[in-house]
Structure 1
């Protein structure tokens, strides 16, 4: 294996030397060399979904005349060919990102396979919650299909999770052929009663970003099980003898270690006759997969005594170690998976390292290990036993659709 790696690196160096010529390398050529050499040396299998020749052909195309933003999105498209969510190109920080590309004043959210305007400029507040049909003349479905080539992903569900934060940059839409330079980006929206409206977006530079007067769609009431962003994990009883646990990041809260959290939950379970336990992993994008172990062990012990049923909520933001934890709840607690497919796959690349590039303030994150947790598992994601989409009407009325399905069982 080691000799094959060395041989591949030698061949890569020769090929890249031929591509770039004997002259001294430009910063962009150096970055392309770095990307290829790093992937060949450290990534477990960069050519599992694309041939090495196709990858090199793409590198050749990136040696042409491009603007900085075209080169950035070209690099994103290059590494996206690997189809590894953990291997990606991004700016070193948000400040440099907004100094290089222009943010558009909108964001969208998916409900029941449709996309809705969820963030907009204050002047367009009345359009919040309307269905997005077109970006300029491109349908939203066609826009998603175009955007796939610059979103590193293991599956389409992770791509959907990152779709909004990809297309709300002016240069991304230009690169994808959805918008043209020096022309406005126009959204076509449809209200609940079928009325069609047009919304012109504005592009903001880094100097203007703090001047954005942004508003977000607000439901009439929030569900009690909504995401609590500042909580690693938390729990509350619900109606109908149901107990709810939300686990948002695979990381130990130093102020409230998982051991202590599990003991607190155990006391609550012993005092009450809960019939259903919900573990919510919908917003968990990963970390250390072992952190949840004390909670799972305690739940297994109590399940043997109290005979309660366990349900695990999953969705497109369930990623990396949270996917492993999804599998843990299934195998350890015999949980029923409810929601939508996970953004990550049970077998996946990971153990990420980073290298900084030179031509732009960019960093390449790359996987160094393949986790083959369930041999021969080929579905691309973990699919729910019961698929329940979150409905916009439910969201607006403070109803968590998947949770509600569990409660009424």
Structure 2
């Protein structure tokens, strides 16, 4: 049955991907498919799925991916986040909360660097080094991914190696259910700056006014439906207008995408607010979690809102195949996506949107509940505004 599903995936990619063989020659792709089908008798299910991930990864864009989480699976009980080159535990089930803040240095016999080298050909939802790190930090929690890639010798047990209080420790960890893992997040409670959002019943988009900085702040965390944005447009515009804001910050960090026409509708909603400083006062924050439609909207806002990009490089390539057709495997009912459109969002070749003002949140700030990136941006805005007040001409 796997042979039938894999052959079908081969056909789907050729029929539906807008440019499937930009990064791998068709003959080579076909050879890899045939090799996988011939090796099926020697592979367990986890190995088959990870090998399918390798096939999809060879296409080279994040929207062409195999969702290993769409079938039965379990997780190791941590959420990880990169701070520079260090991978930190930012959440854990109750049994392992003493590891919060610990640095992961390896799994089983592999160091973190070796894990990155071994898994780079398998991790899906990747377009550049930034989305690789972002996606890797999640995939290493998936039990059958580690097992299928040969990192673990057992399906539900692995030895995780950490640095705790400057000392290395190794702990044999059992996997937990998807339901228990789903309770974990990647955000500490952010205490600074103190943001009080207006009461909008709209998922994914929150608005606040930061009076000290004369700045309206839109946390664009995920994408609502277009009709939801349209229904709230007048309220958003009125709140910003009544606040007297001169600056606007739109935050796309950790937004992995949706319908970019919703983002365009938001820009249309606010574009008549003449009180805003449209020359220097519009900022968009991005990071490695800014992907798909969020990256698209960030690039569009640079142009149509004259926005300054702030933060760290996006996890999405601005000039690559995008949007998706979604399919389910006939026999195993796994989910796959295949890119169907192509956009050029920047004129110059680039693997990411790079910020005009690089700013990051350090581990020390994150641990203390400080949004270092936003605080640095607000300080920049405040300093610029004071300079303008002193030198109005």
What TM-score range do you get, normalising by the shorter chain?
Answer: 0.7 to 0.9
Go from structure 1 to structure 2 and tell me whether the alpha carbon gap of 1:35 and 1:317 turns closer, same or farther (over 3 Å shift).
same
Aligned to 1:133: 105
Go from structure 1 to structure 2 and tell me whether the alpha carbon gap of 1:62 and 1:127 turns closer, same or farther (over 3 Å shift).
same
Equivalent of 1:339 in 304, 311, 314: 311
Deviations, residues 322-341 of structure 1 (Å, cap 9, x unaligned): 11210121112221111111
Local SS of the residue matching 1:159: helix
> Where do residues 277-296 of structure 1 align in structure 2 (5 Å cutoff)?
277-296=248-267
Structure 1: distance between partners of 2:60 and 2:238: 44
Q: Does structure 1 retain, via aligned residues, the 8 Å contact 2:299–2:346? A: no
Structure 1: distance between partners of 2:130 and 2:5: 30
Structure 1: distance between partners of 2:304 and 2:85: 32
Q: Quote how far apart the aligned CAs of 1:212 are.
A: 7.6
Q: Quote how far apart the aligned CAs of 1:283 are.
A: 2.7
Aligned to 2:59: 82
Q: Does structure 1 retain, via aligned residues, the 8 Å contact 2:143–2:156? A: no
**TM-score between both structures, scaled by the size of structure 1:** 0.81
Go from structure 1 to structure 2 and tell me whether the alpha carbon gap of 1:292 and 1:360 turns closer, same or farther (over 3 Å shift).
closer
Aligned to 2:28: 54
Aligned to 1:245: 218
Equivalent of 2:291 in 308, 319, 325: 319
Aligned to 1:31: 5
Aligned to 1:97: 72
Structure 2: distance between partners of 1:38 and 1:354: 10
Equivalent of 1:161 in 134, 138, 155: 134
Aligned to 1:370: 342
Go from structure 1 to structure 2 and tell me whether the alpha carbon gap of 1:122 and 1:385 turns closer, same or farther (over 3 Å shift).
same
> Where do residues 163-242 of structure 1 align in structure 2 (5 Å cutoff)?
163-181=136-154, 184-191=157-164, 193-204=165-176, 219=188, 222-223=191-192, 224=194, 231-238=203-210, 239-242=212-215
Local SS of the residue matching 1:312: strand
Q: Quote how far apart the aligned CAs of 1:118 are.
A: 2.3
Structure 1: distance between partners of 2:83 and 2:169: 20
Structure 1: distance between partners of 2:13 and 2:149: 25
Q: Does structure 2 retain, via aligned residues, the 8 Å contact 1:151–1:159? A: yes
Structure 2: distance between partners of 1:30 and 1:248: 39
Local SS of the residue matching 2:47: helix
Aligned to 2:358: 387
Structure 2: distance between partners of 1:353 and 1:297: 28
Unpaired runs of 5+ residues, structure 1, are: 1-26
Deviations, residues 340-398 of structure 1 (Å, cap 9, x unaligned): 111222223233222322442323221222223445x3211111112212212212222
Q: Quote how far apart the aligned CAs of 1:140 are.
A: 1.5
Aligned to 2:238: 267
Q: Quote how far apart the aligned CAs of 1:229 are.
A: 12
Go from structure 1 to structure 2 and tell me whether the alpha carbon gap of 1:172 and 1:293 turns closer, same or farther (over 3 Å shift).
closer
Equivalent of 2:81 in 109, 116, 125: 109
Deviations, residues 80-115 of structure 1 (Å, cap 9, x unaligned): 10011111122584xx422xxx42222211223321
Local SS of the residue matching 2:260: coil
Q: Quote how far apart the aligned CAs of 1:182 are.
A: 7.1
Go from structure 1 to structure 2 and tell me whether the alpha carbon gap of 1:217 and 1:300 turns closer, same or farther (over 3 Å shift).
closer
Equivalent of 2:122 in 141, 150, 157: 150
Q: Quote how far apart the aligned CAs of 1:151 are.
A: 1.9
The root-mean-square deviation of aligned C-alpha atoms, in Å, is 3.0
Structure 2: distance between partners of 1:368 and 1:359: 24
Q: Which moved more, 1:294-303 or 1:79-88?
A: 294-303
Go from structure 1 to structure 2 and tell me whether the alpha carbon gap of 1:243 and 1:174 turns closer, same or farther (over 3 Å shift).
same
Structure 2: distance between partners of 1:231 and 1:130: 32
Is 2:371 the partner of 1:397? no
Structure 2: distance between partners of 1:397 and 1:301: 38
Go from structure 1 to structure 2 and tell me whether the alpha carbon gap of 1:148 and 1:230 turns closer, same or farther (over 3 Å shift).
farther
Q: Does structure 1 retain, via aligned residues, the 8 Å contact 2:78–2:184? A: no
Structure 2: distance between partners of 1:266 and 1:406: 23
Q: Does structure 2 retain, via aligned residues, the 8 Å contact 1:70–1:175? A: yes
